[in-house]
A and B are shown apart, each in its own frame.
Chain A
Amino acid sequence: MNDSQSLLPPNRKVATALAPLQLSGEHHLCPGCGHPVAWRLLLEAISELHLENKAIGVVGHGCYTNIVQLADIDFLQCLHGRAPAVATGVKRVHPDAAVFTLQGDGDVASEGLAEILHTAARGERITAIMLNNGVFGDTGGQMTAASVVGQRTKTSLDGREPEAHGYPVPVADLIASLPGAAYVARGAVHNAGSIAKTKRYVKKAFEIAAQGDGFTFVEVLTMCPTGWFLPTADGPDYLEGTFEKTFPLGVLKGG
């Protein structure tokens, strides 16, 4: 085990465990969960853009809600699905603030689809982040409106089947079709490369919103081995092999 940095050959630290705005690294999310990785890249993006004292976060209900305790940012935790509407009110009162929402696919594609589409159509200058793992994680892994065809969940144990359960809602594509949306991208956190790319998408989204060009949206595919009934190590491959087929990564609009 390495002792403190001083016992090593001359060196420099190239990566800290936590993002600058992160108060703690302790959390109760499952082993192999992608959300904490998304948290950190979001907080890194905010501090790298020097938005610490301008950022106001509006967070929905899900496993990701825990970020409200870990991040040194002004946060409002709101009702399931309502974040984009709440953020609209915040932004209209503080036009210069970097207002963003953090939700899951259940919060957006299921509970709050009207909210996000109306907010995008209105071109609110906010950045909306949707963590998509295709399950309601914090209630134990039920199907959401974004669960992919064939995906096994607690409410589709034999796999999502169009005949009975219909098809996943392509939220990012819907948003990209709205004139009020200025930037739409879809990233993932299943490997170092996708993490770096996703962080660039998030920074771009904040910049474009700050320029006042319109609504910006970044969907982030994250692993949920628990909800996918998989060993933790298989999460990244399942994400790439299954989710990415339904939700291809990249910039869908603007940027």
Chain B
Amino acid sequence: MVTRGTVTINVEQCKGCDLCIAACRPGVLAMSTDVNGNGYRFPLLSPGCTACRACRDVCPDYCFEVFKFDTPVEDDAGAA
């Protein structure tokens, strides 16, 4: 599994709207089962992020910052 980058997620500011899940091109975002301080579920990142920033762009609550690795990482180390 190639991981080209990662994101930071402000889970407390998330309102659990799911829009990032469908927007994630490699499909490596999935909603959590537990909830944040406001009772909303929030996204979790698994390996395979391409730093394409789609999640950041669609998020109405500005939860994402996106980082691209200088060289892709070849294992699961990059996972959240």
Contact = CB atoms under 8 A, between A and B. Distances in A.
Interface of A: 1-2, 5, 8-18, 22, 25-27, 29-37, 40, 189-192, 195-196, 225, 231-233, 235-236
A231 B13 CA distance: 19
Contacts of B57: 15, 37, 192, 195-196
Contacts of B18: 32, 231-233
A26 B51 CA distance: 24
A9 B17 CA distance: 30
A31 B58 contact: no
A16 B58 CA distance: 13
- Size bracket of the B interface: 35 or more
Contacts of A26: 13
Interface string B1-28: 0000111111001011111011100000
A225 B18 CA distance: 12
A30 B66 CA distance: 24
23 contacts: A1-B9, A2-B6, A2-B80, A5-B67, A8-B78, A10-B69, A11-B6, A11-B69, A15-B53, A15-B65, A17-B63, A18-B62, A25-B13, A26-B13, A27-B61, A31-B60, A32-B17, A34-B60, A35-B60, A189-B58, A191-B58, A192-B52, A225-B17
B60 A33 contact: yes
Contacts of A40: 62
A15 B64 contact: yes
Contacts of A18: 62
A32 B60 contact: yes
Nearest to B52: A192
B67 A12 contact: yes
Contact of A14 (B19, B40, B51): B51
Interface in B39-64: 40, 51-54, 56-64
A31 B56 CA distance: 15
